[in-house]
Amino acid sequence: MRRFTGFRSAALVIIGINVFLFMLQMIMGDWFTTYFMFDSTGFLSRPWMLLTHMFLHGGPYHLLFNMYALLLFGPLVESRIGSKRFLLIYFLSGILAAAGYLALPTKALGASGAVMGIIGVTVMLMPNLRLLFFFVIPMTLRTAAFFFVIIDLWGVFFQPGVANFAHLVGLACGLGYGAYLLKKKGKFSDNLIARSAAMISGKKSASHKGSHGSSRKTKTGMELSKKDMDDYLRYGRL
């Protein structure tokens, strides 16, 4: 895992924005929350609610739980996949989690769907990461995710008032994106192995024997093009 020295975390910025807007909710009153929260019946007149709902919360404990989870997993994942991809999956998970309710007369707010997306990516990249489930039971993140799914599935049918379906959609987005990243990493690794084997066996074409100003050598002694180096920075650290 990379060190966080000099690392500017978008996750921490998002946490700060959430805290600020929650304070604004308390100051401005119910009209502010009602105007920016997700409401499937008012989507056509206020489409921005697909984005703004994930920065609002129903109370201090709702905010605390979501921001604690984001603080726990956000910087960790962001340091592995980069800020751009972190922001992509965070907002994509949050938006799709709310979009899943468009066909129903539903109101919702909170960062849970977006945070579950980040947890999903973490499950794929670091499945054996150990944590305390509900702060008590030690288990791997993969096992904890399984229990989260069971709890949310139960909640879909027996816990009205909680957006359990949004949690599942967000988690599915994160798992899917994590699988995509691992697939890209696998292709990159296979490409490196194939090139290395070709070089060792002497089958590398003569065109690669010259000097290349933009190339570097890996630990195998193999020369990499600029595209290879870009791919290494993207997928080699996953």
| Backbone φ and ψ of 162, nearest 5° | -120, 135
Give the pLDDT score at 106. Answer: 83
Contact 180, 121 (CB under 8 A): no
DSSP code, position 54: G
| Backbone φ and ψ of 221, nearest 5° | 90, 5
| Inter-CA distances, 209 with 58, 103, 199, 222, Å | 63, 60, 10, 11
Please give the single-letter amino acid code of residue 178: G
Q: 3-class DSSP state for residue 217? A: strand
- Binned at pLDDT 50, 70 and 90, residue 219 comes out as very low
Contact 43, 104 (CB under 8 A): no
Handedness of CA 223, 224, 225, 226 (dihedral sign): negative
Which CATH topology does 10-180 take? Rhomboid-like fold (1.20.1540)
Contact 147, 71 (CB under 8 A): no
Contact 92, 116 (CB under 8 A): no
| Of residues 31 and 103, more confidently modeled | 31
Give the pLDDT score at 40. Answer: 85
- Binned at pLDDT 50, 70 and 90, residue 44 comes out as confident
Q: 3-class DSSP state for residue 146? A: helix
Average pLDDT over residues 88-108: 88
Domain definitions of the chain by residue range = 10-180
Contact 53, 110 (CB under 8 A): yes
| Backbone φ and ψ of 108, nearest 5° | -155, 155
Give the pLDDT score at 66. Answer: 96
Distance (Å, whole) CA 133 – CA 137: 5
Which residues have CB under 8 Å from 165's CB, separation 6+? 100, 101, 152, 156
DSSP code, position 42: G
**pTM for the whole structure:** 0.76
| Backbone φ and ψ of 56, nearest 5° | -115, 155
Burial class (CB in 10 A: 0-12, 13-18, 19+), 227: exposed
Give the pLDDT score at 198. Answer: 61
What is the pLDDT of the chain when averaged over all its residues?
81
Burial class (CB in 10 A: 0-12, 13-18, 19+), 90: buried
Give the tens place of pLDDT for each residue, 147-170: 989 999 998 888 777 788 889 999
> Which residue carries 């074409």 as its tokens?
205
Average pLDDT over residues 54-83: 94
